[in-house]
């Protein structure tokens, strides 16, 4: 990785271009390489320091007298820069057939000047293409445009998604004396709820997708409307008497602090959470819940078992392989959660081998 960066920078210098441009191109090339995460981990300790030094160097190049002398020019040009970039990006997004609200939000979020502009101004000044005062003015314009980022993010928030249509025909949750409350009645929640129902448990269903509620109603399934993650809504649904609360929704992950609030509000209920991947499992490792379930974990194990059965492997051997995998995976999860490092215990990971079976390699 370091050799690639240095080589790219050397080529750019040989072409009489910026070495920073070469480093940038090297980063783009390495972004899709198998070493990406390792490089990110190695660079992380230096990134904050070097980034700080970069902005210190940029700030030292500014001619404050030139900036103070023309404040209205700087504010006007920064406004023009933001407006022009937002308009161009909006039009490009619309040509790409993005919905107008999403296109406008994208234009606002990407309308600021970029840090690479500082590099270009410095190189242009060094090559005597622009005056030092002009470089200072341009740098101040870019800096001011970047300072608008948090405000533009707040403005764009209302445009990032289509406005939810107000439905007045949806019934909110009410206490039915159910044993379990299932939040999210999508493909995951349906399986959970039907299995609980098969055991003759009373189940209350909550979902905030109006379309999903309508579809469920066509199958004679009662689903209450609302955001089942809210404590007040769970209380209305009878969570104080429920024995199980199962968060089966997809989308934004549940936060450990919020789950702690739910557990404190309903101490008699055991809480289970659907998670997307092991990162979310690690994030909820110390949360006061009964368990987490990764979306594709069990289904992947079932597929692997079926594959081994297709090869006429004995059931006992398949059970041993599954037990070994589960044990290794649990060891890694515990080590990762305790250390906060996703690469912890990677030496025990079961790595696939191409070409020959692991048993054959061991024998040789």
The DSSP code sequence of 181-229 is EEE--SHHHHHHHHHHHHTT--EEEEES-HHHHHHHHHTT---EES-TT
Q: Where in the chain is the domain with CATH 3.40.50.720?
A: 172-281
Q: How confident is the model at residue 362 (pLDDT cuts 50, 70, 90)?
A: very low
CB atoms < 10 A from the CB of 276, how many?
A: 13
Residue 345 above 60 pLDDT? yes
Q: DSSP H helical segments within 266-296, as ranges?
A: 278-283
What SS3 state is found at 364?
coil
Identify the sign of the CA torsion 109, 111, 112, 117.
positive
Separation CA 133–CA 110 (nearest Å): 27
Residue 213 above 50 pLDDT? yes
Beta strands in 279-360 (DSSP E): 291-294
Maximum mean pLDDT: which of 8-12, 118-122, 208-212, 256-260: 256-260
Q: Averaged over 118-141, what is the pLDDT?
A: 82
Identify any residues that bridge with 183 across adjacent strands, giving them in sequence order.
206, 247
Query: What pLDDT does 355 receive?
Result: 54
Query: What pLDDT does 320 receive?
Result: 95
Query: What pLDDT does 289 receive?
Result: 92
Q: How confident is the model at residue 361 (pLDDT cuts 50, 70, 90)?
A: very low
Residue 363 above 50 pLDDT? no
Separation CA 13–CA 5 (nearest Å): 12
For 191, list phi and psi in degrees, rounded to 5: -65, -45
Query: What pLDDT does 364 receive?
Result: 40
Query: What pLDDT does 33 receive?
Result: 65
Reported as a single tens digit per residue, the pLDDT across 65-102 is: 777 888 899 889 989 999 999 999 999 999 988 888 88
In terms of pTM, does the model score above 0.75? no
Query: What pLDDT does 121 receive?
Result: 82
Query: What pLDDT does 343 receive?
Result: 85
Reported as a single tens digit per residue, the pLDDT across 280-321 is: 998 898 899 999 999 889 999 999 999 999 999 999 999 999
Residue 144 near residue 74, CB atoms below 8 Å: yes
Residue 41 above 80 pLDDT? no
What SS3 state is found at 270?
strand
Q: Averaged over 169-178, what is the pLDDT?
A: 65
Identify any residues that bridge with 244 across adjacent strands, giving them in sequence order.
180, 270
Contacts 24+ apart (CB under 8 A), 169-172: 170/210, 170/213, 170/225, 171/224, 171/225, 172/224, 172/225, 172/226, 172/233, 172/236
Distance of CA 160 to CAs 7, 15, 101, 154, 156, Å? Answer: 41, 42, 6, 10, 6
Separation CA 117–CA 97 (nearest Å): 30
**Top-confidence residue, 164 or 304:** 304
Angle ∠(302,350,29) on CA atoms, nearest 5: 105
* Average pLDDT of the chain, as a whole number: 83
For 272, list phi and psi in degrees, rounded to 5: -125, 145
Which CATH number among 1.10.10.10, 3.30.70.100, 3.40.50.720, 3.40.50.300 corresponds to the domain 172-281? 3.40.50.720
Query: What pLDDT does 181 receive?
Result: 94
- Percent of all residues in the chain with a pLDDT value above 90, rounded to a whole number: 33
Residue 358 above 70 pLDDT? no
Separation CA 183–CA 205 (nearest Å): 6
> Lowest mean pLDDT: which of 3-7, 152-156, 341-345, 355-359?
355-359
H-run or E-run covering 305: helix 297-310
Q: Averaged over 206-228, what is the pLDDT?
A: 88
Q: How confident is the model at residue 263 (pLDDT cuts 50, 70, 90)?
A: very high
Query: What pLDDT does 354 receive?
Result: 53
CA distance from start to end of the chain: 34
Query: What pLDDT does 170 receive?
Result: 58
């Amino acid at each position: 990785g370091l050799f690639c960066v240095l080589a790219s920078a050397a080529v750019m210098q040989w072409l009489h271009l910026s070495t920073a441009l070469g480093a940038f191109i090297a980063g783009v090339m390495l972004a899709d390489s198998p070493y990406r995460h390792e490089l990110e981990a190695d660079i992380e300790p230096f990134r904050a320091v070097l980034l700080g030094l970069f902005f210190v160097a940029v700030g030292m190049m500014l001619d404050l007298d030139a900036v103070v002398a023309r404040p209205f020019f700087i504010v006007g040009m920064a406004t023009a820069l933001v407006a022009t970039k937002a308009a161009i990006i909006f039009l490009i997004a619309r040509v790409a057939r993005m919905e107008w609200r999403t296109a406008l939000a994208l234009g606002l979020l990407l309308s600021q000047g970029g840090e690479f502009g500082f590099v270009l101004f410095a190189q242009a000044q060094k090559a005597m293409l622009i005056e030092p005062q002009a470089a200072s003015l341009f740098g101040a314009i870019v800096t001011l445009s970047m300072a608008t980022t948090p405000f533009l993010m707040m403005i764009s928030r209302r445009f990032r998604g289509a406005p939810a249509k107000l439905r007045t025909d949806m019934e909110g949750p009410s206490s039915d004396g159910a044993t379990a409350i299932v939040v999210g009645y999508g493909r995951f929640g349906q399986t959970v709820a039907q299995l609980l129902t098969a055991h003759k448990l009373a189940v209350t269903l909550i979902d905030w997708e109006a379309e999903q509620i309508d579809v469920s109603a066509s199958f004679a399934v009662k689903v209450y409307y609302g955001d089942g993650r809210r404590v007040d809504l769970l209380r209305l649904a009878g969570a104080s008497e429920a024995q199980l609360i199962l968060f089966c929704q997809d989308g934004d992950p549940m936060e450990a602090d919020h789950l702690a609030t739910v557990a404190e509000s309903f101490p008699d209920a055991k809480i289970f959470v659907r998670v997307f991947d092991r990162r979310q499992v690690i994030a909820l490792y110390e949360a006061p819940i009964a368990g987490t379930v990764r979306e594709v974990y069990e289904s992947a194990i079932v597929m692997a078992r079926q594959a081994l059965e297709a090869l006429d492997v004995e059931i006992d051997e398949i059970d041993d392989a599954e037990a070994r995998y589960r044990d290794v995976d649990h060891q890694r999860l515990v080590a990762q959660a305790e250390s906060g490092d996703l690469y912890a215990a990677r030496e025990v990971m079961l790595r696939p081998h191409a070409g020959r079976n692991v048993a054959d390699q061991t024998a040789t």
